[in-house]
Amino acid sequence: MSNEALLDILWILLCAGFVFLMQAGFLCLESGVTRSKNSINVAFKNIVDFGLAVLIYWMVSYGLMFGSSAAGWVGTDGFFFRITGEEAPFQYSVFIFQAMFCATGATIISGATAERLPFYVYLLITGIFSILVYPFVGHWVWATDYLGDASGWLAQKGFLDFAGSSVVHSTGGWVSLALILLVGPRLGRFDKEGKAVEIPGSNMPLAMLGTILLIFGWFGFNGGSTLSFGAGVPLILMNTLLGAVGGMTIVLAMIPFTRKLPDPGLVMNGALAGLVGVTANCNLTGPVAAIIIGAVGGLIMMGTVRLLEYLKIDDAVGAIPVHLTPGIWGTLAVALFANAEVMGLESVDRVGMFETQFIGVIVIGFWSFCLPYLFFYLVKKVLPLRVSPEDETAGLNISEHNARTETLFLLEDMEMHARTGDLSKRVRVEPFTEVGQIARQYNKVIDTLDLTMSRLKSIFQDLHDGIITFNSEGSVLSMNPAAGKFYGLEPAIAGGLSAWDLLVPESREDLEVHQPVDHEPFDPFRAGVMQEIHYFRKNSRKDEVVEFVASKGSFNNEVIYTGLIRDVSETVQTKRSKSRLMSKLVGAQQSQFYAGMCKQSVPVLRNLSKRIYDLSLSLPRTIPDPRLKTLENDAQEILHLTDDLRYVESQGSLPVKAVDLAKFLNGFLQKLVSEAKHPEFSETEIKIDLDDTSLHGLIAPSALEQVLEILLLLSCRESGAEKGVLVKLESRYLDQPFSGTEVIPAGEYLTIHLVDEGAGIPEAELDAFFEGRDRKYKDIDLAMAEAMVRHMNGILDVDSTLGDGTTLSIYLPIAREMMDPGEPEEATATVLLVEDHRPVTRLVTGLLHKIGYKVLTAETGEKALAKMKASPVDVVLLDLILAKDLQAREYTFRQIHERFPDIPILVSGGKVDAQVLATVIQEGAAGFLEKPYVPAKILHMVKREALAKKEV
């Protein structure tokens, strides 16, 4: 074999390697400009199409393309290509080179149709391209007979396509177009108005590397197409280089006119379009023509991009703008720019050449577009051509290859959070990876979110006000326990109810809506306006009133309403009670007259009873006479009574002392049963429920005994022997007046409740319940009981529900100063109490002293900050509503939290605005204590935060 022949073989094999490198270029480019969720699929297709195309090419397509021609249309021999003899090295080299071309054409389609095709469909496409499209077109243009004369029908007409602008690039583009039209655009590529939405690539630097590899490979693509190493090669490489430069620079030059920032993808495609443009003609033109052809190719590429967007055709990587239209241009440019001298002609018949080139473009386009379109149109009838929307959304890496990465794990875990809302779980952390770092940070965010949500949930659950959420159609989405309790529903099953049916029911058996006539009709969607809903609860025969305020928000483009329901029945009752109080005051003036008479008669009565008592003692006891004993007891009782009356007269109240009420009640009830003054006391079961409090009450024991006797007699009669009476003792703090039948001022009380299960008392009778004797039991003097309680600085109240029974309540003052043990000598923690209501301050201070905590107090936020600077504090208990602080409710909280972020702050308040509360909790409040305080809850939460602080 001659040196020239060996050099040819070397050159062809070298160029085949260059063209093979274009596969890597396409792989990088297509993976880079598509989304990472499809990157494996795209890259995988680039490898697989190479293998499949080469196999098919060896088996069938090389013979179809370069076999002995049948009338210039198709080759008829050379299948399963093999050869022996001297020519074998050259022929094998040519085969390798041509096979790379086939693979290149096939891989163009993978980019255009990326991110939506099932893998098997892509294999079919590769097969169809490699068997039906590429070898036929290749035969028409490139096949030669034994002597090197053109045997393809197009080439015989003079059609020229040196390295495949049409044969490789346009055919790939046409097949891509056919497929894209059949499968449609990717999800989300065009919005509802049909406007193109840019889908960003996952790795532009990788795409740029791919472009560089493609340009490099193109030297082999064009340079090797001589199939020999001759003097024409340098010019071909020169023109190839200039074509790429022309395409790239024209796109850069167009940037000012597009009024956009440089688009790396467009510039890369400009270079590739220029290369496609010069591919058909680089052996026949000069450098200037190559630059022009490349530049026009770039412009055509830009125009094609716009056209595809206008037609809503989604080419994932721009394969059609790069390969199809510049390929057509390059083929026609042969006629426009071919150099006669280079061609070895006297002159060039450009018109004739253009006609030939144009016919070639049309025929190749028709064959390459229609045949695959028809084939896959039929395939579509029996097999899906694209993946399901779910798979497309998840990404083909997962759906087509089950490719699992740490990114996928993270996404799955995050999806689990989004789907279930269960924030107790954490995402998996893959150490020493970037995704692992993201996962770790995400877990920290979830920690904070979980804490905040727990606090918010706590508020949501514990809030006395009801909260419901509903959508714009009025379907209830959620409700808190308070709302559920008010409406008698389980919050868990409230979802789906109509807000109308819930709030203003028309057919509930237990609840009726009685809106006043002058009220506007209720509308739950009237946001920001307070509306009242008046109910009548049939079971208890009570009027109830709620205030309803809706706020409008949105989540995920869905309008969500949040309704705050506040039970204001007590407020309304307070107003009513005030009017009753006024009537009582009028009655009291009348009573003064009787009091004056009483004042005069008391000394007389006392002297008389003393004399009777003394007389009874002086009588001889030889004759036991029960009447004498009775006389003695009565006289003593009257004596005590008159003493008390005198004390009241002189002091304005009964003589009181601090008494452990629990012990007192136990003793009293034992005595009551043993003495059995009334049969009811022994017939009726009297149950005792004494709150675990060690507080002492300030009472006049003898007077309280008489009061309890009177009231208990009433309760026993009401309940009857079968049902029993409950005597209950509890401590209670009211931060604002409580309006029962009586108005009870804010303060701390020890409360004795006598609960019967009798028939109840009609509401109409409750107003004047303690005036005079009982309506039903005339021997029970309720006025006396009420007067005695009043003279102990207590309050007597009654609450009754028809059918359920009556509760008589005695509110007694607490002997506070005796109960506060004072500041402990060795405090285990220090609590700063920011509170401007002194009774509350006293209560909380006493409670905290009892558990060994030191208490600092401040009435304003400013003072609180000063105290915190002066001495260490473990927990802050902050009343959100400080009368002396004029700033926003959350102002003091923020001041303290910003300066002392490590100190837990428990916020408290009565009717605190839910928005304010949500804000401070989100900003880091440790918890919320709702007023009126429950002592046990204060202690629990303060202890919890103090312990947590110490652990930290």
Partner 1 sequence: MLWEFLLLDSQPKQLFMKLKLLLLFLISLSSLGAAPSSIDSLGLPEAPENRYQLEQVEQIDREAEVWYSFYTYYTSGEAQVKHGLWIERMRSRDRERHASDFVETRRIYYAGEVSNHSVVSVWINGVLRQRDYILSEDLRVTVKYNEQGQEMRGAKANARGGRAKKERIIRVFDNVYNLTK
Piece of 346-354, 392-400, 404-412, 772-780 that binds partner 1 (CB under 8 A): 346-354
3-class SS at 545?
Answer: strand
Bridge partners (DSSP) listed for residue 534: 545
Among 47, 70, 77, 689, binds partner 1 (CB under 8 A): 77
In the complex with partner 1, which residue's Cβ is closer, 155 or 914?
Answer: 155
Q: Which long-range contacts (CB under 8 A, 24 or more apart) does 791-794 make?
A: 791/644, 791/648, 791/652, 791/653, 791/654, 791/700, 791/703, 792/653, 792/654, 792/656, 792/698, 792/699, 792/700, 792/703, 792/704, 793/653, 793/656, 793/698, 794/699
> Footprint of partner 1 on residues 174-233 (CB under 8 A)?
225-228, 230
C-beta of residue 844 within 8 angstroms of C-beta of residue 908: no
Q: How far is the CB of 82 from partner 1 (least distance, A)?
A: 6
Helix and strand totals (H; E) in the chain: 35, 22
Alpha-carbon span 375 to 527, nearest angstrom: 60
In the complex with partner 1, which residue's Cβ is closer, 33 or 100?
Answer: 100
Determine, following the binding rule CB under 8 A, whether residue 70 of this chain makes contact with partner 1. Answer: no
Among 14, 24, 72, 79, binds partner 1 (CB under 8 A): 79
In the complex with partner 1, which residue's Cβ is closer, 141 or 602?
Answer: 141
Q: How far is the CB of 400 from partner 1 (least distance, A)?
A: 11
- Euclidean distance between the first and final Cα of the chain, in Å? 87
* Nearest Cα to Cα of residue 733 among 823, 841, 656: 841
Piece of 89-97, 316-324, 840-848, 923-931 that binds partner 1 (CB under 8 A): 89-97
Determine, following the binding rule CB under 8 A, whether residue 66 of this chain makes contact with partner 1. Answer: yes
Alpha-carbon span 198 to 192, nearest angstrom: 14
* Mask for 6-25, x = binds partner 1 (CB under 8 A): --x-----------------
Q: How far is the CB of 45 from partner 1 (least distance, A)?
A: 16
In the complex with partner 1, which residue's Cβ is closer, 382 or 886?
Answer: 382
> Footprint of partner 1 on residues 562-581 (CB under 8 A)?
none
Q: How far is the CB of 126 from partner 1 (least distance, A)?
A: 12
Q: Are strands 743-744 and 738-739 parallel, antiparallel or unpaired?
A: antiparallel
By CB under 8 A, how many residues form the interface with partner 1? 61
In the complex with partner 1, which residue's Cβ is closer, 383 or 449?
Answer: 383
Q: How far is the CB of 75 from partner 1 (least distance, A)?
A: 6
Q: Is 848 exposed, middle or buried (0-12, 13-18, 19+ CB in 10 A)?
A: buried
CB neighbourhood size of 883 (10 A): 10
Determine, following the binding rule CB under 8 A, whether residue 372 of this chain makes contact with partner 1. Answer: no
C-beta of residue 855 within 8 angstroms of C-beta of residue 807: no
In the complex with partner 1, which residue's Cβ is closer, 383 or 615?
Answer: 383
In the complex with partner 1, which residue's Cβ is closer, 163 or 792?
Answer: 163
Helix H segments across 463-568?
481-487, 499-503
In the complex with partner 1, which residue's Cβ is closer, 225 or 399?
Answer: 225
Determine, following the binding rule CB under 8 A, whether residue 67 of this chain makes contact with partner 1. Answer: yes
Bridge partners (DSSP) listed for residue 799: 807
Q: Whose structure tokens read 């309790």? A: 485
Q: How far is the CB of 301 from partner 1 (least distance, A)?
A: 24
C-beta of residue 754 within 8 angstroms of C-beta of residue 808: yes
Radius of gyration of the chain (CA): 48
Alpha-carbon span 173 to 372, nearest angstrom: 12
DSSP 498: B
Measured CA angle at 500 (ends 498, 505), to 5 deg: 105
Determine, following the binding rule CB under 8 A, whether residue 235 of this chain makes contact with partner 1. Answer: no
Q: How far is the CB of 397 from partner 1 (least distance, A)?
A: 18
Piece of 246-254, 344-352, 527-535, 851-859 that binds partner 1 (CB under 8 A): 344-352
In the complex with partner 1, which residue's Cβ is closer, 127 or 505?
Answer: 127
Q: Whose structure tokens read 């179809």? A: 64
**Tokens describing residue 730:** 């509890």
> Footprint of partner 1 on residues 256-285 (CB under 8 A)?
283-284
3-class SS at 130?
Answer: helix
Determine, following the binding rule CB under 8 A, whether residue 771 of this chain makes contact with partner 1. Answer: no
Determine, following the binding rule CB under 8 A, whether residue 68 of this chain makes contact with partner 1. Answer: yes
3-class SS at 30?
Answer: helix
In the complex with partner 1, which residue's Cβ is closer, 80 or 594?
Answer: 80
Alpha-carbon span 553 to 560, nearest angstrom: 5
Q: How far is the CB of 472 from partner 1 (least distance, A)?
A: 44
Determine, following the binding rule CB under 8 A, whether residue 402 of this chain makes contact with partner 1. Answer: no
C-beta of residue 503 within 8 angstroms of C-beta of residue 531: no
Query: For residue 874, which phi and psi values (nearest 5 degrees)?
Result: -95, -40
In the complex with partner 1, which residue's Cβ is closer, 212 or 227?
Answer: 227
Q: Whose structure tokens read 């308070």? A: 482
Alpha-carbon span 777 to 713, nearest angstrom: 10
Determine, following the binding rule CB under 8 A, whether residue 558 of this chain makes contact with partner 1. Answer: no
C-beta of residue 834 within 8 angstroms of C-beta of residue 878: yes
Phi/psi region, residue 402 (left: phi>0; alpha: psi -120 to 50; beta: rest), is left
Determine, following the binding rule CB under 8 A, whether residue 4 of this chain makes contact with partner 1. Answer: yes
Determine, following the binding rule CB under 8 A, whether residue 118 of this chain makes contact with partner 1. Answer: yes
* Mask for 129-168, x = binds partner 1 (CB under 8 A): ------------xx-xxxxxxx----xx-x-xxxx-----
Among 6, 7, 47, 120, binds partner 1 (CB under 8 A): 120
DSSP 58: I
Cα-based distances in Å from 437 to 427, 428, 450: 11, 11, 20
Give the E-state strand segments of 72-137 in sequence order: 74-75
* Nearest Cα to Cα of residue 295 among 283, 287, 305: 287
> Footprint of partner 1 on residues 651-690 (CB under 8 A)?
none
862's enclosing H/E stretch is helix 861-870
Among 18, 50, 62, 129, binds partner 1 (CB under 8 A): 62
Among 18, 57, 81, 136, binds partner 1 (CB under 8 A): 81
635's enclosing H/E stretch is helix 626-651
Q: How far is the CB of 363 from partner 1 (least distance, A)?
A: 16
Piece of 63-71, 604-612, 718-726, 775-783 that binds partner 1 (CB under 8 A): 63-71
**Tokens describing residue 574:** 């307070």
In the complex with partner 1, which residue's Cβ is closer, 328 or 387?
Answer: 387
Among 25, 32, 78, 220, binds partner 1 (CB under 8 A): 78
C-beta of residue 908 within 8 angstroms of C-beta of residue 882: no
**Tokens describing residue 328:** 């057509």
> Footprint of partner 1 on residues 281-310 (CB under 8 A)?
283-284
- In sequence order, the 6+-apart residues with CB closer than 8 A to the CB of 190 are 196, 197, 312, 314
Bridge partners (DSSP) listed for residue 834: 858, 878
> Footprint of partner 1 on residues 461-520 (CB under 8 A)?
none
Determine, following the binding rule CB under 8 A, whether residue 36 of this chain makes contact with partner 1. Answer: no
In the complex with partner 1, which residue's Cβ is closer, 379 or 881?
Answer: 379
In the complex with partner 1, which residue's Cβ is closer, 226 or 368?
Answer: 226
In the complex with partner 1, which residue's Cβ is closer, 78 or 805?
Answer: 78
Among 196, 237, 307, 379, binds partner 1 (CB under 8 A): 379
CB neighbourhood size of 750 (10 A): 25
Q: How far is the CB of 37 from partner 1 (least distance, A)?
A: 22
In the complex with partner 1, which residue's Cβ is closer, 92 or 891?
Answer: 92
Determine, following the binding rule CB under 8 A, whether residue 241 of this chain makes contact with partner 1. Answer: no
The residues binding partner 1 (CB under 8 A) are: 2, 4-5, 8, 59-60, 62-63, 66-68, 75, 77-83, 85-87, 90-91, 94, 118, 120, 141-142, 144-150, 155-156, 158, 160-163, 225-228, 230, 283-284, 343-346, 348-349, 353, 378-379, 382-383
